[in-house]
Structure 1
Amino acid sequence: MKNNYRYFIIFMIVIITVINYIDRGALSYAQAEIIEEFNLDPISWGAILGYFGYGYIFGALFGGALADKRGPKFMWILAGTTWSIFEIGTIFAGHLGATFFGGSALAGFAVFRVLFGLAEGPTLSTMNRTMANWVSPKEKGFSVALGLVGTPIGALITAPVVVGLLTFTNWKVTFIILGLLGFIWVLVWRKVFTNLPEDHPKVSKIELQKIRSTNDLIEGEIKLEETITNNVPWYYFFKNSTLTMNAIGYFAFLYVNILLLTWTPKYLQDEFNYSLASLSYIGMIPWIGAIITGLLGGKISDKLREKTGNLRIARSWFTVVCLFCTAICFMLIPTVESATAVLSLMCIGNAFNYLPNSIYWTVILDTEPNKAGTFGGVTHFIANLATIIAPTLTGSLVASHGYNAMFTAAAIAVIVGMVSMMFVKPGKRDYTSVNQTQKDTTLY
């Protein structure tokens, strides 16, 4: 651990992102019990899955700004505590809705899923602020990839963890256990993390020099200290074409991600008659490759940065190629009939989708590192419209056109993201320094 404490911090972030994804994905595996208990149809179920996104986008937006203003430690503790409360509270959602909202269990789930999404929303924008403070320029791509690897790991193990708990207990006990895991992480995090490595007794001078080193900066790359004197308002995000196009690219990634996370269990049960027990391992298949490529993509991007000295090749064009391959895989799914072929294409397509996962966050660090939380939050707000659109639209598509339509819609979303990433120029700031007379020296 000597001279590498930052990697322990990244490890802790991986743990909480795993918990984060299991918590949000648990509902999909509990769907059979919940649908039967509250007599829900596909459109209602799609709406319940989509309600999460309404809260999530605003949690991402305001959570990122709070991470910049109050520091990432405050935001991590607040988010982890509140989403754990609402994870447990979900077990009361249907009955509270039936009692207080005119007999509508759907309304009860709407309230709790929106609040749960609001609490989970700050996670990745807060992670980006943490990375801005704790990693060096040459490590950005791989470090962000390490932090984000918890998302495919969480998605991968959601199936065996949740199905295992459901097998031995029921959906309500399962949600209580998952909520308690979040509380445990928060208690540990309070003890081991500080907003800046300079403030942590376990960060050596040698490690701090590595983190703050500028020896490896390339042309167009910006270091954290260069931006702390620029008081850039949040709405300047929309004046930067690189950041806005990057957000659309991230939307495409998340559309696929959320589609697989929310609708895969029901799709596999309805189309191929898999039992709940079978889903404990079948549900893992679309995520196996994503764990490897999620890490590999950050490393490849950093290597391209080092070899070419060109951030656009290392970030933008690398992502374009990955999204092109993703779109091909999802366009092919409606043309095959066997479960093996479908699951193989899901796995390969999701693996390509995850290759540039870290890029969308690294572009923000390349361009405006001192606003990593705020601009990360705006990026997440835009991109996470997918958490509403993907499950809700899919419910309507499945009801009217069948399951093949949801894969075609995913391919179209990915193509839009691919085109957007062609216009991303990392490090480019379309505005000049702002309010030079008003120094923003906040460095959390």
Structure 2
Amino acid sequence: MSLPIKVRHLTLFSLCLMAFILYIDRVNISVAGPFMRKEMGLSPTQLGVIFSAFAYSYAFMQIPGGWLADKFGPRLSLALLSALWSVATVMTGVATGVSALMVWRFLVGVGEGGAFAAATRAFLHWMPISRRGFAQGLTHGASRLGGAVTPPIVVWIVIASGWRQSFIVLGVASLAWTIGWLLFFRDSPADHRWMTREELLELGFDSTRPAERARRIPWKEMISRMWLVTLVDFCYGWSLWVFLTWLPSYLSEARGFKLNQMAIMTMLPLMAGVIGDASGGIVSDAIYRKTGNLRVARCALLLVGLIGSVIFILPAVITVSPTTAVVYLALSFFCLELTNAVLWSLPIDIAGRFAGTAAGMMNTGFGVAGMISPVAFGFLLQHTGSYQLPFFLSAGLLVVGALVSLLIDPMKKLGEPAAAPISAVGNLSFVK
């Protein structure tokens, strides 16, 4: 069967749709939370415990989820994971107590925890190396877009049918994606009935070779190669979780925006992040095509994005103008998200057929940051009475992440020795 569009582009669209739906299912409870509290008589502490149930399972599922993708392939593993979080989302809508809500949100975290690692494993065969940054950027841009549009979608469903129906409707939509994924996707491009010989050659794929499955994972070497990437992802994730959890409160309490204004102002940095996600992947791939050097293409953008985020976050919390602060926050979040596609490309660059496990290992840093960052931010705010110190801490960690990124070497696969640290000046001299 010959299609007017490449099968790999349909695969990319499918994974973007997955990321979009995943983020809606992730943050829908934040919007439905006030309605749940009112109906079920939940205290703020109880609601907070329900929220945290997701974060812990999400963090701890990263490596197992990646291992599943390496062992059984992204088709089956991603279908199982998405089915789990979809059913758990539906069941959240019928839960009648705190314990049940905690269990179902915990299971949503289990399902979503391995999803991006499995998607990363899918890109190993379905995206050429010169387009992986773009693919990761577009996928994670779709996830941020999902988070940005969740409030109006959930509020509309809640007003029309109630908060319980919002979980049921969104969970069923996720199940529909799961079925479509199983019907459409194949682990090996050569096994897809719509693939042409020309597209297989474009992917550099040997049509006589079955899709690789990782058998024995070299854990010691993988840890030695991936711990720096995990640390950078932790530093990145710390600031991202600050934006996702504390931005509305900051704009309302520190900047004095009213409720309707705050909703709009919160969306602006998030939409800037969508653009940053897509742009980061495009720029990284362009640098690689120009230089043929993966280390420059990945590490240079990590350095620029993380330092750029610091440069804009500092005036954002110092300026006296609320509107100017939002502009700086949007620029800071744009720069921060420039690095996201690069981070998710590194596990493929470094680990090859073990990309799923490596991606899970990396994103464990993000998950741990999600457990610590919001709490630490609140602790500093409570004990200082100021938002500045928590933001300064985030900026400091971004500087640490930028420095560590200079030590990462994606040019060498597992089983090969790493090169010397990149020079922040000499090896980036092509940038004029």
Q: TM-score, normalised by structure 1?
A: 0.84
**2:91 corresponding residue in structure 1:** 89
**Corresponding residue for 1:412?**
396
Match of 2:237 in 1: 254
- Kept after mapping to 1: 8 A contact 2:236/2:336: yes
How much does 1:201 deviate? Answer: 0.5
Amino acid at match of 1:394: F
Which of 178, 187, 192 aligns to 1:195? It is: 187
Alpha-carbon contact 1:363-1:427 (below 8 Å) kept: no
In the alignment, the residues of structure 2 paired with residue 165 and residue 402 of structure 1 have an alpha-carbon distance, to the nearest angstrom, of 37
Greater shift in the superposed pair: 115-124 or 335-344: 335-344
User: Taking structure 1 as reference, are residues 264 and 109 closer, same or farther at Cα in structure 2, changes over 3 Å only?
Assistant: farther
Cα separation, 2, equivalents of 1:236 and 1:376:
15
Query: How far did 1:110 drift?
Result: 4.1
> Partner letter of residue 423 of structure 1?
L
Q: Within 1, Cα distance between the matches of 2:250 and 2:20? A: 23
Distance across 2 between alignment mates of 1:229 and 1:253:
29
Residue correspondence of structure 1 range 69-108 to structure 2 within 5 A: 69-91=71-93, 95-97=96-98
2:23 aligned with 1:40, yes or no?
no
Q: Distance in 1 between matches of 2:367 and 2:153?
A: 25
Question: Is residue 20–residue 145 contact of structure 2 (8 Å, CA) maintained in 1?
Answer: yes
Q: Which position in structure 2 is the counterpart of 1:440?
A: none
2:408 equivalent in structure 1: 424
Of the candidates 224, 227, 241, which is equivalent to residue 244 of structure 1? 227
Residues 118-176 of structure 1: per-residue CA shift (max 9 Å, x gap): 11101110111000021112222222222222122112212332333344444322222
Q: Does 1:341 align with 2:337?
A: no
Shift in CA distance, 189/227, structure 1 to aligned 2, threshold 3 Å: closer
Structure 1 position 53 matched with structure 2 position 55: yes
Counterpart code for 1:236: E
1:308-347 → structure 2 map (5 Å cutoff): 308-347=291-330
Please report how far the alpha carbon of residue 259 of structure 1 lies from its aligned counterpart in structure 2 after TM superposition. Answer: 2.3
CA 1:269 to 1:108, structure 2 compared with 1: closer, same or farther past 3 Å? farther
CA-to-partner distance for each residue in 1:90-130, whole Å, 9 max, x for gaps? 3456x423xxxxxxxxx655443332211110111011100
Shift of 1:429: 4.6
* C-alpha contact 1:86 1:112 (8 A) present in aligned 2: yes
- In structure 2, relative to structure 1, the CA distance for the partners of 1:349 and 1:226 (3 Å cut) is same
**Contact residue 71 and residue 214 of structure 2 kept, 8 A:** no
Partner residue in 1 for 2:156: 164
Separation in 2, partners of 1:409, 1:392:
13
Q: Distance in 1 between matches of 2:154 and 2:394?
A: 26
Alignment correspondent of 2:423: none
Q: Which residue of 2 aligns with 1:148?
A: 140
User: Cα RMSD over matched residues?
Assistant: 2.8
2:375 aligned to 371, 385, 392, which one? 392
Against the structure 1 CA distance between its residues 39 and 408, is the aligned structure 2 distance closer, same or farther, given a 3 Å change threshold?
farther
Offset of residue 198 of structure 1 = 0.7
Instruction: Identify if the C-alpha distance between structure 1 residues 392 and 225 changes in structure 2 by more than 3 Å, giving closer, same or farther.
Output: farther
Provide Cα deviations, 1:384-414, integer angstroms capped at 9, x if missing partner. 2112112232333343334614423322332
8 Å CA contact retained: 1:129, 1:373: yes
Q: 1:13-32 counterparts in 2 under 5 A?
A: 13-32=15-34
Check 1:161–1:257 CA distance in 2 against 1; reply closer, same or farther (3 A cut): farther
Quote how far apart the aligned CAs of 1:265 are.
3.4
CA distance in structure 2 between the partners assigned to 1:295 and 1:262 by the alignment: 22
TM-score, length of structure 2 as denominator length: 0.86
Cα deviation code 1:165-199 (max 9, x no counterpart): 34444432222222122111112112111111110
Which is bigger in relative contact order (C-alpha 8 A, separation at least 6)? 1
Corresponding residue of 2:68: 66
Question: CA separation in 1, counterparts of 2:310 and 2:32?
Answer: 29
Distance in 2 (alpha carbons) for counterparts of 1:229 and 1:38: 49
Determine what percentage of the aligned residue pairs are the same residue. 26
Task: Determine the structure 2 residue equivalent to 1:138.
Answer: 130
Q: Distance in 1 between matches of 2:158 and 2:139?
A: 29
Q: For the structure 1 residues 179 and 235, does the alpha-carbon distance in structure 2 shift closer, same or farther, using more than 3 Å as the test?
A: farther
Check conservation: 1:319, 1:418, Cα contact below 8 A.
yes
Q: Contact conserved, 1:287 with 1:347, CA < 8 A, in 2? A: yes
Mind listing any 5+ residue stretches in structure 2 that lack a counterpart? 418-432
Task: Decide whether the 8 Å contact of 1:52 with 1:387 is kept in 2.
Answer: no
Aligned partner letter, 2:227: T
Separation in structure 1 between the aligned mates of residue 393 and residue 173 of structure 2, nearest angstrom: 35
